[in-house]
Structure 1
């Protein structure tokens, strides 16, 4: 795929750095990785170096590299760091003289032998970046591909030296669509080195800051280091890092956080001033930086190397020129890079998600153990912060409980049946072979990427547009329903990852709007096409299991549709039963009971109306005080419901317990009193099974820390989140707006020199400038900026004001009319017979068939989930 220069040796012997950009093509073709693709014309996509580079042995100098030693512990302890600007004098401790953990002097520069080539404190960044040389770069199959030397400081104390892979960063300016990456004859470093890629990890980001990026990247690198410690594995071992490629995709050059670029530059995977926005008159669509780094930046902004267990990591940084959303980022990963590397397993991560130290191995092991698994996910936990301080926020605590119970009841149940409705894009894995299209335009990936063009084509309906808000659910269904392939999905409990959850009302409601609408319409899609499972190649009993699961999903969908009415009816019947109770010992609110319940019912209706009005046009961020007030009102109503339910049970049970043979009396009571029996069974099957299942999974702590906040916020999940979601089904945005205006980088002009087509461009080549800019980057990275409170711009403030004014006007009009209606129709004002009589309630007052149906349905669904959870534990214990 490359145009060869017979006078150039790849890689050059001795690893000596060159100041001119290096032509990145090998001198000759050789047999390639058996899994590497071959172009239709017989052109091999894999190019080996002239000498295969071996990284298994220790570098020159007698260093005893023990990273691959079985059981090597990754050190997470604190220590002196390259970017730890504490103003301390002196060099690193004697036992770390050959490591990357240097102290900084008072100006923030690493201390070591020899002066810097230039005073960084007086360095003018713009002047240095503008000081460039005109270079003529040979075209690589008509493309701009060049190797750029990394800063000398990065190479001073690394363990692997003398190889071009570690001393040069490879830059490629892609001018094509991701689908045409292979056709346009672009190559990637692992392909050139004939490496078999077992794991291909993608980290997608938009404008996340450096803290979130460091958290995810550091965890990924520690996971790769763990793979290298598994000396007895047939796949992994001390050279296991060669089988892993980490792809970082940034959605838009202008949107990428500048400090993230500084972190990547500190690791050697990015250099400022290299990128070009046009090549031979064609606009660049993505800037691709490839480098095998030997260092990581930890959460304290310290550089860590092999002395802390860090192994080399192959990084592929794809900086998209324009912001085209997450699906486009995944298209670069799956359609541009994966066909060349042909990995076995692809792992999807969002920047901000932090896998635990062995999670990636456990995810991979599930695929290695069972060849029928096409996709898998681990347990996503809410990030609770230092000492679980985030649990003090009721919103975070309720989400923590929600996540935990989903991982205890829902995911295990679906895993037993073989179809998980959603593998979270924040932390999931797929077998690449299973994702490939069965024919052009037909298959899981084609269906997955269909959502990228829906909102711009103008041809999609509102149903399809909402459905693709949950594109990961579509991918899961298409994978299981893939014709004649018989793929299954699994939940891997031992693979855990933490992620930030919304801690403010506005962010929480906006997130759930997309989740609820996407999941609702995607569920309809899967149910409408469930017959495709019959042609998926599954066995007879597996098809039966899947049909049962689809029936379960259909019942859940119906209950979700009527959840608003069901919740209000439950509240209404509880209050009516309490108000009409003839037991003088059971009067929850004394003589004020009927009036209190009547007022609460009117408050409930008023809160619902308010939420509907605010949801019809207001941003949650602009109306957060009204939403907070509604949440408080519903929490009070939930408290009353819990009190009435508990008081009812106590009032009935206590007299029976005081009698002789109390157990027999209780059993007789359950047989005779239907409403009491229904209430007890419903409560026990819900909250009782929560406790039992949590104990069976050895994870009971969320019941103590998060159960109460979840109970009181449960009405908000139904009456606020669902109302807002359905009131905004017209909003099919992804939450970010595309911004395709970017700063100019300068172009690479195609010219002819000595009879050969070359590219004329400007780039920094002065060795002192490269090192000086690196020093300045490290200095700026060492100073953590002050937290800036997010502010709304003037346009957004104006829009929020207009919408809020309209809401206030409508609310005022509605409330004045509603207050008059309440005043004229309430039992307190009318003094009706129902408000004053003390007669014994009839059977119709005490028993309601619809309420009993709701209670028994809840009990049945809870029992079904619990059974699936127990079956998962049994299968996990038997088969791993």
Structure 2
């Protein structure tokens, strides 16, 4: 949620070498920090400044840990801010501190030294209350610091209890955490903040795992520990996504909230597991994810070879129109560079046990701007990636298995893209076929009842599209959900009654399959998600149609305009003309495809429309294929977990307890039940 930047930057090259400097950082910022050299480091504080007041015993304990901190951090978490209010930072930071502190009890033998890096993108854009919090907590202006990219990075070590108290959050947490705070002098874009973090701060902190966390995302208490365990168990995983959902809708939730929640549920239950099985997770969500520092910072063995990190940060100087659209979702680009990296077959993983809740868009306008960035960048990344398929298949550093896996993942991405591109045409044909089926129905009474319930659902969904404080909101939402459930049940019953069994089965199978997949793969959401599934099924195509149309009409728009942000990058007229030309090519091609499909469906009924329900059949067929692949993926994953479950049960109930060593059983249990 950051302002976009178009200024060109020449970044320093850190591949395979240390940064030159006047002296080691440890000589200037105390032994709490790693003795790695940093350009332009400054000492601007007296010893002890910037630390929360501690008792003598606590100071002694911290001093004893200084030597350990010099060897590096286990976790370094990056949070970037633009104009978010303090409340968003409070909820995210307090939950993160709880999750970091939980490592002491959940994994006592695990190295858990952590540092939280917060970068505010522009002093004049940062919320005044956040700046006051930084000062009150002693995170800036009173501690040690060093310079990077012309900005000042403030370093300090704090007790978690003190930070929680400064945030106004109750809690009895006894751990410590380090902070690196940077308030940039002016807004220079989110990617510039990532360059500051990855190219300057991380080499100084020497982390093992690097996280990204959005302000507004709340991680559950065990999320950090679970990601640490997951990365330890999967040494070939370079980055991993967590399971991120919007808040679970309550009884009076708006249609907008329900749709966003279900859209995230469908992604986590269907799309992501299938992508992981195909070998390529198309997005590493910046809302909450983890990277293995050794993977993203390792240089290629080729002369002049780039690290994945270097290729990712080329977006700062991106001038090609397609690249500018790609970097609207820089997390997708980062994943591409990791998968395409030479000399190592890295994977992108998914750890559904690590859960987080992110904030949803409050208005339809915000949702339009958010999905415009997401959808356009996803399409641009796929186009760019398909252009690299021939070169990938001819590479000598990739084996047959890597190439087969990459080809399968590209085929799956093609299937998803085809469903997106053809969706507008199918929506139009679906509405025409549904209207014709109701008008010319053999049983007018049945058609009137079903049509009336569908119309009622649409009207109630429109009345409750946004959250309102009206006393009628709750009851209108309840009536909407009831009408949606009755509509779906009636449509399924009508399909069974009015069509041959094979046609009816094709209509019903996707709904049942989706409910089963969600129930099996989404623990904790097994009641909420199926409950809202009928409303999602009835409204998804129409909402997606509006979002997709808006995205296509604004392919040329490369601003980060989600929550009131504006384009202040000062683009030249020539660049804007090039972006509009790209918009005309991409949007024009997709509109032409959909117009052709609609024309074929209307003029040649034998192709799409053999009966009133055949358009619905054609529309659900592609969805059924996607759902079927997802179900097969989940089933295969469940079967692979059976041996682990068997070993765990065997360890719990050994045949001969007398012959077993006393310490062997706990080790066996832990090893058998570790998340995979």
Q: What TM-score, normalized by structure 2, do the two folds share?
A: 0.72
The residue number in structure 2 matching 1:197 is: 73
Question: Can you list the C-alpha shifts for 1:583-624, whole angstroms capped at 9, x where unaligned?
Answer: 56644379xx9xx9xxx9xx99xxxxxxxxxxxxxxxx9xxx
The residue number in structure 1 matching 2:237 is: 373
CA 1:365 to 1:647, structure 2 compared with 1: closer, same or farther past 3 Å? closer
CA 1:562 to 1:190, structure 2 compared with 1: closer, same or farther past 3 Å? farther
Question: Can you list the C-alpha shifts for 1:112-149, whole angstroms capped at 9, x where unaligned?
Answer: xxxxxxxxxxxxxxxxxxxxxxxxxxxx9865322246
Deviates more, 1:536-545 or 1:504-513: 536-545
- For 2:398 and 2:67, how far apart are their aligned partners in 1? 35
Provide the secondary structure at the position in 2 that maps to 1:155. Answer: coil
Structure 1 gaps of 5+ residues are 1-34, 55-139, 167-188, 605-620, 622-631, 655-668, 741-842
CA contact (8 A) 1:37 1:340 kept: no
Q: Which of 620, 624, 646 pairs up with 1:859?
A: 624
Deviates more, 1:350-359 or 1:569-578: 569-578
CA contact (8 A) 1:245 1:313 kept: yes
CA 1:274 to 1:683, structure 2 compared with 1: closer, same or farther past 3 Å? same
Q: Which of 475, 486, 489 pairs up with 2:348?
A: 489
Q: Which of 134, 145, 165 pairs up with 1:264?
A: 134
Provide the secondary structure at the position in 1 that maps to 2:210. Answer: strand
- For 1:153 and 1:414, how far apart are their aligned partners in 2? 45
Query: After superposition, where does 1:344-743 map in structure 2 within 5 Å?
Result: 344-384=208-248, 389=250, 392-436=253-297, 437-438=299-300, 440=304, 442-454=306-318, 459-461=319-321, 463-534=322-393, 535=395, 537=397, 539-583=399-443, 586-588=446-448, 643=487, 650-651=493-494, 653=496, 677-685=502-510, 687-697=511-521, 698=523, 699-735=525-561, 736-737=565-566
CA contact (8 A) 1:37 1:342 kept: no
CA 1:869 to 1:542, structure 2 compared with 1: closer, same or farther past 3 Å? farther
CA 1:50 to 1:247, structure 2 compared with 1: closer, same or farther past 3 Å? closer
Q: Which of 309, 316, 338 pairs up with 2:202?
A: 338
Q: Does 1:846 align with 2:604?
A: no
Note the C-alpha offset of 1:191.
Answer: 10
CA contact (8 A) 2:238 2:338 kept: yes
Query: After superposition, where does 1:303-342 map in structure 2 within 5 Å?
Result: 308-342=172-206
Q: Does 1:285 align with 2:150?
A: yes
Aligned residues: 561
Deviates more, 1:508-517 or 1:846-855: 846-855
Query: After superposition, where does 1:32-111 map in structure 2 within 5 Å?
Result: 39=18, 45=24, 47=26
CA 1:477 to 1:302, structure 2 compared with 1: closer, same or farther past 3 Å? same
- For 1:847 and 1:394, how far apart are their aligned partners in 2? 29
- For 1:296 and 1:273, how far apart are their aligned partners in 2? 16
Question: Can you list the C-alpha shifts for 1:508-536, whole angstroms capped at 9, x where unaligned?
Answer: 11111111111121122222223454438
CA 1:37 to 1:155, structure 2 compared with 1: closer, same or farther past 3 Å? farther
Deviates more, 1:146-155 or 1:426-435: 146-155
Provide the secondary structure at the position in 2 that maps to 1:229. Answer: helix
CA contact (8 A) 2:116 2:180 kept: yes
The residue number in structure 1 matching 2:122 is: 252
Structure 2 gaps of 5+ residues are 1-13, 460-465, 467-475, 570-607, 645-675
- For 1:191 and 1:737, how far apart are their aligned partners in 2? 46
Q: Which of 225, 238, 247 pairs up with 2:101?
A: 225
The residue number in structure 2 matching 1:795 is: none
- For 2:61 and 2:165, how far apart are their aligned partners in 1? 29
CA RMSD between the two structures: 4.3
More helix by share: 2
CA 1:300 to 1:546, structure 2 compared with 1: closer, same or farther past 3 Å? same
- For 1:300 and 1:42, how far apart are their aligned partners in 2? 36
Query: After superposition, where does 1:719-868 map in structure 2 within 5 Å?
Result: 719-735=545-561, 736-737=565-566, 846=611, 852-868=617-633
- For 1:44 and 1:191, how far apart are their aligned partners in 2? 19
- For 1:453 and 1:267, how far apart are their aligned partners in 2? 36
Q: Does 1:212 align with 2:88?
A: yes
Deviates more, 1:209-218 or 1:709-718: 709-718
- For 1:269 and 1:36, how far apart are their aligned partners in 2? 31
- For 1:44 and 1:156, how far apart are their aligned partners in 2? 30
Note the C-alpha offset of 1:299.
Answer: 8.5
- For 2:282 and 2:149, how far apart are their aligned partners in 1? 37
Note the C-alpha offset of 1:475.
Answer: 1.1
CA 1:45 to 1:475, structure 2 compared with 1: closer, same or farther past 3 Å? same
CA contact (8 A) 1:412 1:872 kept: no
Note the C-alpha offset of 1:492.
Answer: 0.2
CA 1:51 to 1:217, structure 2 compared with 1: closer, same or farther past 3 Å? closer
Q: Which of 138, 155, 160 pairs up with 2:53?
A: 155
